[in-house]
Structure 1
Amino acid sequence: MSGAALIMMAVTLLIIWGGLVASVIALKVLPVPTDQPGENAEAAGETAGENAGESA
């Protein structure tokens, strides 16, 4: 392999593995948003009890 090929391979590996490491760190550090019960139904103009019997 030529020197340029080795440099390009090293840069590519750093980008790929660096992105993976950054993603894992971000998932551990940043809080995960939680959905509140009925939040989506309220946004759509429905109430939480309207569709309670329609699950199937």
Structure 2
Amino acid sequence: MKKGSNELTRTTNAIIYGRFSSPIQEPEEGSESQEQGCRQYAERCGYKVETVSTGHHGGKQ
């Protein structure tokens, strides 16, 4: 709370999870691009990014 203010400031925490479902998607470039886009979105919305995680989930082959 700011000194001399009656307003409470709330921060919404966010977790970024990048997911790859195809071997064609490049995990290195793709994960950086996904994370960057998510961080930009979080900043615009006033979210505080707490954690970043990525994973690979195979689809039908």
Q: Name the TM tier (shorter chain).
A: 0.3 to 0.5
Larger fraction in strand: 2
TM-score (norm 2): 0.33
Structure with higher RCO (Cα < 8 A, 6+ apart): 2
| TM-score normalized by the length of structure 1 | 0.36
